[in-house]
Amino acid sequence: MVAEMLARGPMGGAEMVQFAAHVIRGRWFMWFAAFLIMSAAGATYIFAIYSEEIKKSLGYNQQTLNTLSFFKDLGANVGILSGLINEVTPPWVVLSIGAIMNLTGYLMIWLAVTGRISRPRVWQMCLYICIGANSQSFANTGALVTCVKNFPESRGVVLGLLKGFVGLSGAILTQFYHAFYGDDSKSLILLIGWLPAAISMVFLYTIRIMKVVSQPKELKVFYSFLYIGLALAGYLMVIIIVQNRVNFTQAEFGASTAIVILMLLLPLAVVIRQELMLWRLRLQSINNPAPITISVEKEEKPSLPVIETAPPPPKLEISEKPTKPKSMILRVIAKLKSPERGNDYTILQALFSVDMLILFLATICGVGGTLTAIDNMGQIGKSLDYPRRSISTCVSLISIWNFCGRVVAGFVSEIFLTRYRFPRPQMLTLVLLLSCVGHILIAFPFSGSLYFASVIIGFCFGAQWPLLFAIISEIFGLKYYSTLYNFGSVASPIGSYILNVRVAGHLYDKEGLRQRAFARGPVSDDLTCAGVQCYRISFIIITAVTVFGSFASFVLAMRTRKFYKSDIYAKFRAAAEAAEAAEAEMGPVVGNGRAVVERNRENGSIAADGGDKH
C-alpha cells in the first residue's frame, strides 16, 4: 500500500503521513499501547526475587516480611480509588497517577534497602510498597478496562491476553534486570520503579475510550497477538532453562533481552497490517461511494376535517385515604434490588448481590492460596535447599505459566461460552481444583517437585483473573465496570492476609523458633527454617480452603447456568449494527455531502455520493 501511495505522484508523501496518523489514532494501536503497558505492570509477581534482600538489609523475620507482602498485595488489588477516578476522568489521568505512584513507592524502597536514607519503620515500608504496588491497579484500570469497553464482544479474549502479559511481565522484567544490572537484586527494585512509569507516560494519550464498531475478523487479529505471545513465552522458557544450566555474562543477558524487545515490538506489524486493511476500505468508500436514491413523495390533497364533539369532562374522585410515601428503608431496598443478570447494575446493587458475595468468597480462597505460594516461593525453595539460581528459575516459571493460564482461560472460556454455552464459573471451579495439586506438591515435596508446583500454581493463579473479571462484566454489566473490576480484586489481599500472614508466616516462624531451640552450634541472627516441615501444615490448610472455594464457585455456576445458556452478547451486536446503520443513513448530510448533491443536480443526476474527502 505504501508503494502504491508513492507511485501516485507528489501526494504520496502526504498520504503516507495520513496513513501514519490513521494508525496512531486507530483502535489496534491503542490495543498495542495497552499491551506494552501490561507487559511491564507485573512487578508485584517477582517479589520473591528481591524479598530476601529486603529481609537481610532491614533485619526482618518471616512474618514481618509476609506482612510487607500483604501490603504489596493490598496495594496491587485494592483499586477502588482508581476505578472511581476512571468513572469521571479520561484514562490518561488514571495512567499518569499510576506512573507517579509507581516511581515514588519503589524508589523509596530502593533508597531504604541501599542505605541512602535512614532505616524506615515497618509501617513506612508497608506504605511505600503499598503505594508502588497500587500503581498496578491504576495501569489495569486505565489500559485494561478501556480495552474491554472498546472490544465488548471479545472481552474474554481481551482480558486473557492483557492479564496474561501482566503475568509474563515478571519474566520480561527479570531479563531486563540481568541485562542492565547483572545480579544486583537491589537494582531490580530501581528498575521496577522507573521502567513501568516511563512506558505509561509514553502512551498517556493513546489509551482512550473509542466508539464501539464491528471490526472485520476481530477474533483472528487477537489470535495473531496470541501466537506472538506464546512465541515470546516459549522463548523465555527456553532461555531461562539455558540460563539455569549455563552462567550467562551480562553481555549475553543483553543479547537475549534484545530478542525479547524485538518480540515485544512484533505485534506492531499486526497493528499496521490490520489498519492498512481498514485504510483501504476507507479509501474505497470515499472514491466509490454507494449511490443514494432521492425519492420525491407526491403531496396528498388535504381531506376535509372531521368535527367531533368533545367528550364530557371526567368526574374528579377524591380518595378518602391518600397513599403514604414509601419509607426510607423500603426505598433503599428497592434501589438495592438486583436487575436481571447481564443488565447494568449500580455499584451498590452489584456489591450487595448474592452472586458477587459468592464470587468474592471463591476468589478469596483460590487467589489467596496461589498468591501465598508465589510470594513465599523464595523461602520455600530455600527451606528445601534449592540453589538461588533454581529459585529464580521457579519464579520465572511462575511468570511464564501465569501468562499461559491467563490466555488459555481467556480464549478457552470464550470458545466454550460461544459454542457450548459453558458457564465461566464452572471453568473457575475446574481451575481451583487443579491448583490443589500444586499446593499438595509443596506440602509433600520430592526431588524437583517445586518446578512442577511452580508451573501448576502459576497457571492456576493466572487463569483465575480473566475468569473473575469476565464474570463480573457479564453478570453486572459494563456501565460501572471500572469500579466493580477493582472491587473484585480486593478479594486477593484479603485471602493473602489470612493465608499468607496469619497461616504461612506464623507457622514458618513457629517452626523456625522450634528449630533454633534445638539447634547445635552458632545460630544466625535472622530467623530461618529448613526442611519440609516449614510449609507442610500451611499448605495442607491452603488446600482445604481452596477446595471450599471450588465448591463456592460451583454454586455460582449452578445459579448462573440459565443466564449463560442465553446469548449474552446479542445486545452488543445489535447496538453495533444499529450504530452502523445510523451512520450509513446519516452519511449524505455530513461533510461535503450537500455540495455533492448540488453538483449532481447540475449534471441532471438524481444520485448523491456522501462522505468527507481526505
CB 553 within 8 A of CB 425: yes
**pTM greater than 0.75 (yes/no):** no
Q: What pLDDT score was predicted for residue 584?
A: 61
CB 380 within 8 A of CB 438: no
Distance of CA 77 to the CA centre of its chain: 11
Range in 181-190, 266-275, 353-362 the model is least confident about: 181-190
Query: Residues 86-111: what's their mean pLDDT?
Result: 93
Distance CA 312, CA 171 (A): 83
More confident residue, 195 or 70: 195
| Count of C-beta atoms within a 10 Å radius of residue 7 | 8
Burial track 371-387 (b if 16+ CB lie within 10 A, e otherwise): bbbbbbbbbbbbbbebe
CB 218 within 8 A of CB 151: yes
Across 56-70, 369-383, 428-442, 493-507, the highest mean pLDDT is recorded for: 428-442
| Count of C-beta atoms within a 10 Å radius of residue 46 | 24
Instruction: Give the DSSP per-residue string, 431-481.
Output: HHHHHHHHHHHHHS--TTHHHHHHHHHHHHHHHHHHHHHHHHHHHH-STTH
Question: What is the percent of the chain where pLDDT is above 70?
Answer: 80
DSSP 501: I
Q: What pLDDT score was predicted for residue 593?
A: 39
Q: What pLDDT score was predicted for residue 191?
A: 92
Range in 146-155, 167-176, 314-323, 512-521 the model is least confident about: 314-323
DSSP 226: H
Q: What pLDDT score was predicted for residue 325?
A: 54
Q: What pLDDT score was predicted for residue 92?
A: 93
| Count of C-beta atoms within a 10 Å radius of residue 219 | 15
* pLDDT surpassing 80 at residue 571: no
172 burial class (0-12, 13-18, 19+ CB within 10 angstroms)? buried
Q: What is the bridge-based pairing of β-strands 292-293 and 607-608?
A: antiparallel
Please report which helix (H) or strand (E) contains residue 607, including its range: strand 607-608
* pLDDT surpassing 60 at residue 56: yes
Assign 310 a pLDDT band (cuts: 50, 70, 90): low
Please report which helix (H) or strand (E) contains residue 293, including its range: strand 292-293
Q: What pLDDT score was predicted for residue 186?
A: 85
* pLDDT surpassing 80 at residue 234: yes
Cα 602 to Cα 290, 433, 522, 599: the distances in Å are 19, 74, 103, 5
Distance CA 445, CA 443 (A): 6
Per-residue pLDDT of 244-277, as tens digits, reads: 778 888 888 899 999 999 999 999 999 998 888 8
Q: Which amino acid, one-letter code, is at 388?
A: R
Helix (H, G, I), strand (E, B) or coil at 608: strand
Range in 101-105, 117-121, 265-269, 406-410 the model is least confident about: 406-410
Range in 47-56, 109-118, 263-272 the model is least confident about: 47-56
Q: What pLDDT score was predicted for residue 585?
A: 64
Q: Which of 158, 141, 163 is nearest to 414 (CA)?
A: 158
* pLDDT surpassing 60 at residue 498: yes
Across 11-25, 494-508, 550-564, the highest mean pLDDT is recorded for: 550-564
CB 196 within 8 A of CB 60: no
| Count of C-beta atoms within a 10 Å radius of residue 243 | 20
Please list, in sequence order, all residues whose beta carbon lies within 8 angstroms of the beta carbon of residue 520, skipping any fewer than 6 positions away: none
Distance CA 103, CA 200 (A): 11
Query: Residues 27-47: what's their mean pLDDT?
Result: 89
Distance CA 486, CA 488 (A): 5
Q: What pLDDT score was predicted for residue 165?
A: 86
| Count of C-beta atoms within a 10 Å radius of residue 390 | 16
Q: What pLDDT score was predicted for residue 610?
A: 36
Phi, psi values for residue 608, rounded to 5°: -135, 140
Distance CA 142, CA 90 (A): 8
| Count of C-beta atoms within a 10 Å radius of residue 307 | 5
* pLDDT surpassing 50 at residue 530: yes
Distance CA 11, CA 351 (A): 57
Please list, in sequence order, all residues whose beta carbon lies within 8 angstroms of the beta carbon of residue 153, skipping any fewer than 6 positions away: 218, 569, 572, 573, 576
Query: Residues 512-518: what's their mean pLDDT?
Result: 85
CB-facing half-sphere around the CA of 171: CA atoms within 13 A: 32
Q: Which three cell numbers stand for residue 401?
A: 505459566
Helix (H, G, I), strand (E, B) or coil at 292: strand
Q: What pLDDT score was predicted for residue 2?
A: 44
CB 16 within 8 A of CB 5: yes
Distance CA 128, CA 125 (A): 5
Helix (H, G, I), strand (E, B) or coil at 82: helix
* pLDDT surpassing 80 at residue 60: yes
Range in 128-132, 255-259, 277-281, 470-474 the model is least confident about: 277-281
Q: What pLDDT score was predicted for residue 94?
A: 93
Domains by residue range for the chain, with CATH: 33-210+218-281+344-517+526-565 (1.20.1250.20)
